[in-house]
Amino acid sequence: MKRQGGQTWKFESRPRIIGSATVVGPDEGEGPLSTDFDYIYDNIEINEKTWEKAERRLIEHSTELALINANLNKEEVQFFISGDLMNQIISSSFSASKLAIPYLGVFGACSTSMESLALASLIVDSEAGDYVMASTTSHNCTAEKQFRYPNEYGAQKPPTAQYTVTGSGAAIIGHAKSGTVVDCATIGRVIDMGIKDPFNMGGAMAPAAADTLLSHFRDTGRDPGYYDLIVTGDLASVGLPIAKELLKKDGFDMSQTEFNDCGLLIYDINKQKKVIAGGSGCGCSAVVTYGHLLKRLEKGELQKVLVVATGALLSPLTTQQGESIPCIAHAVAFEAGGQV
C-alpha cells in the first residue's frame, strides 16, 4: 500500500473483488435495479418475527451467498469487517457470531459499505490476510423505529426525507486473476455544517461528499473526467444538486462525467412515491455497488467507477439534545478487472 497525498490509500497489489452478493426487500425489488440483485424477499418482514431479526437475516443471507459466489468456505476467510445503523451495530455483531470469522465491527453510518471495503482492501494489499469479507445492512423499519418514528405511528414526512433501503451487500476481497480491481480509497473527514434536521440527510451529508471528492482529486491528481461514473452514497434528490454546486465553486465541473447517486438509482422516485427524495441507509450504496455497478464493470460497460458513500453520524440521543449532524464520506475507486 502506498499513501497518496493526505487521505488516499493506493493499493499497489491491485486486490480484487472475487465474490459478492446482494439481498434486498420488496420495495427494492420493484425498483429499476431488480435484475441486478442476487435475492429479493417478497415481504418486508424477511420471514422473521421482529424488524431487528429481519435485518440480521439480510446480512446472514448476503454473506452466505458471497462465499458461494467466491467459491470459498468461511474457514478460508481471515477477517470479517461489517457495520450497520443499529445501536452497538448489533446486526453485524450477531451475524459475526454465526459466521465465526475473526471480526472487526465498524460504524460509519451509511458510509459503512465503502469504509469496510477500504479496510478489507488495505488488509489484503498489506498481505495481512488472503481473503477478507466486507459487508453491511439496513432495514427500513429498524431505522425508522430507531432514528425517527415507527412506521405504525404514521408520522407525516417532509419532501426532503429519504427512505431507508432494506438490503444487505457483501464482498470478498483477495488476489485473483480476474474480478473487479479495488484501485484506491480516500478516507473522509467529519464535516459538520450545523444542520439539525434528521429529515434532511441529503442536505447534511452533501458537504462531506464534496469534501472527500475534492480530497480524492487533489491526492490522486485526477479530475472527474478520469471516471466513467461517479456515484455518491445516498444524497438523493436533495443532496446531489448541493454537492454539484459545492464542487463547482471549487473548480470541478461534474458535467465531465456521469455523476449520480445510489439513492436515486435504486428507486424510481417518480413511480415509487413513498421513497420521497430517494434511498438511504447502510444497505443503499452496498447493494447498488455490489449488485448493479459490479455487474456493469464485469460486462465492460464501465471501466473506472468512483463510489463515495456518505454517512450521517447522528444518534437518537444527540438529535433529542438538539445537536447538529456530523457527517462523513469515504470513496473507493474501482477498475474493470479483465484477466491477468
Paired with 186 in beta bridges are 8, 331
For residue 236 the three cell numbers come to: 438523493
Helices 90-99 and 51-70: crossing angle in degrees, nearest 10, is: 50
Q: Confirm if 15 and 175 have CB atoms less than 8 A apart.
A: yes
Does 3.40.190.10 match the CATH number of domain 180-335?
no
CA angle, 80 as apex, 266 and 76 as ends, to 5°? Answer: 115
**Mean pLDDT, the chain, whole residue set:** 95
Question: What percent of the chain has pLDDT above 70?
Answer: 98
Q: pLDDT tens across 214-229, in order?
A: 999 999 999 999 999 9
Q: Between 185 and 320, name the one with better pLDDT.
A: 185
Could you identify the residue written with the cell 454539484?
A: 244
Pairwise CA distance, residues 326 & 193, whole Å: 7
Instruction: Return the domain boundaries, the chain.
Output: 2-174, 180-335
Superfamily (CATH H level) for 2-174: Stage V sporulation protein AD (3.40.47.40)
Residue 291's identity, in one-letter code, is G
* Nearest residue to 304 via CA among 209, 223, 230, 222: 230
Distance (Å, rounded) from C-alpha 305 to C-alpha 289? Answer: 10
| Cell 490509500 -> residue | 9
180-335: same fold as 2-174? yes
pLDDT at 202 over 90: yes
Query: What is the three-class DSSP state of 163?
Result: strand
Evaluated on CA atoms 170, 292, 305, 310, the torsion sign reads negative
The answer, as to whether pTM is greater than 0.85, is yes
Task: Please report which confidence band the pLDDT of residue 320 belongs to, taking 50, 70 and 90 as the band edges.
Answer: confident
Task: Tell me the pLDDT band of 340, cut-offs 50, 70 and 90.
Answer: very low
The answer to whether residues 174 and 337 touch, using CB atoms and an 8 Å cutoff, is no
pLDDT (0 to 100) of residue 101: 98
Q: How far apart are the first and last CA of the chain?
A: 20
pLDDT band, residue 338 (cuts 50/70/90): low
Which residues make beta-bridge pairs with 134?
81, 171
**Among 148-157, 182-191, 271-280, 300-309, which is the least confidently predicted range?**
148-157
- Cell digits of residue 294: 459490479
DSSP 289: I
- Rounded Cα distance between 232 and 215, Å, is 15
Q: Is 122 exposed, middle or buried (0-12, 13-18, 19+ CB in 10 A)?
A: buried
Decide which of 27 and 154 is more confident.
27
Q: What is the pLDDT of residue 186?
A: 98
